[in-house]
Structure 1
Amino acid sequence: MILTKRLMIFTALLMLSFNTFATEPDWSAYADVLKNVSPGAKNNIKLALVDYQTLKENGKLEAAYQQLSSFPVKNLNSKEEKLAFYINAYNILALKTVIDHWPLDSIKDVGSLLSPVWGKPAGSIDGKTVSLDDIENKILRPMGEPRIHFAIVCASVSCPDLRNTPYTASKLNAQLDEQVQKFLTNADKGLRLGNESIQISRIFDWFGKDFKPAGGVEAFIRRYRSDLPELPLKEDINYDWNVNGITAK
């Protein structure tokens, strides 16, 4: 009887510990931000358009940033929790970078040739100042998940679309697959079938080595587009760096 009670207490404590240290952030404010994203087109490219002017005025992005900034990252245990957190973090801070300098035509206008926007402080996470480059190249890419390149959005027209719901650990695998599938079926910026070649986004050129664990770029693409003919791939779809929203006036 005593042993049974001790076992029950131990189990309860174990569950309490798990629930305490395996907790994702509250993404409710970020979910509200994403309500300001809708299907559209810009420069003859289909994409998810962000209403930056409304976000600047309604304060919803600031609320999402505060939820992100105050979350203790030590509570993230699994790879999925970390991936989901930092993908959302990148996207929130990219939006914040645009909003902080709105109006502008391109996120790249925030920086310069000698001091690109990617390396500039974008915000604070758990008391540490970070840049978009820190999140992408020092945290996410080393985790060995090539699908991040279809989830992080640098606020530009030719980027993968900003998803209209936050990423979460429990749904991450399906969410990432959906992002890849959506990007590779968008002929305006992901993959375009030509007569002599298959044109693909320059993302596959810039981050080609990240796809090696998946068998390389071609194997990765054909896993999601098994309908493609046997033509060479060319990473030559023009990359449009204009902001993924209504152009600043």
Structure 2
Amino acid sequence: MILMKRLMLFTALLVLSFNTFAAEPDWSAYAEALKSVSPGTKNDVKLALVDYQVLKENGKLEAAYQQLSSFPVKNLSNKKEKLAFYINAYNILALKMVVDHWPLDSIKDVGSLISPVWGKSAGSIDGETVSLDDIENKILRPLGEPRIHFAIVCASVSCPDLRNTPYTASNLNAQLDEQIQQFLSNADKGLRIGDESIQISRIFDWFGKDFKPVGGVEAFIRRYRSDLPQLPFKESINYDWDVNGITAK
């Protein structure tokens, strides 16, 4: 009987410990906010459009931000958990940056040439003030996962599409692969086959060194588009910085 009681106590402590230190945050509010994302077209580009006016009015993004900002990051115990958390964090804060300054035509309008938006305070996470640049360049890129560039979305037309569900550690690999395949299948902003070259997004130029550990840009792309002809690659698709939503009036 004593042994049984000790076993039950040990089991209860394990359950309590797991619930206390669970690494996956509650993304329920963010999932609700993402219901404002839907397929559309802007500037002749097919993309996932965000209804920023609705997000400004319904409070769902603010609820998502509160869940994000209060999460103790020390609970993130492995690379996948960190990647999923900070990808969602970047996207929530990018949305918040636009909503907080809505209406606007481009997220870049929040900043200037001297003080770009990327370095401005975007919010706080676990008591620490962060910028979009902090999350992308100080946290995510050092984790050595080039697929992040197709998951983080800087609220612009030519960015990869904002996924309409949160990223999770348990589904991260599949989610990132889906993002890449979708982006490279979009001739308006990801990849376009020409007569003499294969035109690709400028993202591959800006972050080219991140793809070197996986064989370089061309090897990375061909891994997901094995149907491509043997033509040279050029980072030449125009990057449209207009906001990825209904244009501000």
TM-score norm. by structure 2 comes to: 0.96
Matches within 5 A, 1:4-153: 10=10, 13-14=13-14, 16-153=16-153
Q: Which amino acid aligns with 2:208?
A: G
User: Do residues 196 (structure 1) and 170 (structure 2) align?
Assistant: no
> How far off its partner does 1:23 sit?
2.6
Secondary structure in structure 1 of the residue aligned to 2:38: strand
Q: Tell which deviates more after alignment, 12-21 or 129-138.
A: 12-21
Q: Any conservation in 2 of the 1:27–1:166 contact (CA below 8 Å)?
A: yes
> How far off its partner does 1:131 sit?
0.2
- Unaligned stretches of 5+ residues in structure 2: none
Measured in 2, the distance between the counterparts of 1:89 and 1:136 equals: 10
Measured in 2, the distance between the counterparts of 1:215 and 1:11 equals: 47
> How far off its partner does 1:213 sit?
1.5
> How far off its partner does 1:19 sit?
4.1
Measured in 1, the distance between the counterparts of 2:2 and 2:215 equals: 56
> How far off its partner does 1:174 sit?
0.3
Look up the match of 1:159.
159
Q: Deviations over 1:192-219 (max 9, x none)?
A: 0001100000000000010111111111
Measured in 1, the distance between the counterparts of 2:228 and 2:244 equals: 29
Q: Which amino acid aligns with 1:216?
A: G
Q: Any conservation in 2 of the 1:94–1:153 contact (CA below 8 Å)?
A: yes
Secondary structure in structure 2 of the residue aligned to 1:241: coil
Look up the match of 2:230.
230
Measured in 2, the distance between the counterparts of 1:111 and 1:136 equals: 17
Measured in 2, the distance between the counterparts of 1:218 and 1:164 equals: 28
Secondary structure in structure 2 of the residue aligned to 1:102: coil
Look up the match of 1:184.
184
CA 1:43 to 1:16, structure 2 compared with 1: closer, same or farther past 3 Å?
Answer: same
Measured in 1, the distance between the counterparts of 2:15 and 2:104 equals: 49
Identity of aligned residues (%): 88
Measured in 2, the distance between the counterparts of 1:69 and 1:183 equals: 29
Q: Any conservation in 2 of the 1:150–1:176 contact (CA below 8 Å)?
A: yes
Look up the match of 1:244.
244
Measured in 2, the distance between the counterparts of 1:12 and 1:216 equals: 49
Count of equivalent residues: 249
Measured in 2, the distance between the counterparts of 1:138 and 1:173 equals: 22
> How far off its partner does 1:3 sit?
7.0
> How far off its partner does 1:24 sit?
1.2
Secondary structure in structure 2 of the residue aligned to 1:209: helix
> How far off its partner does 1:222 sit?
0.3
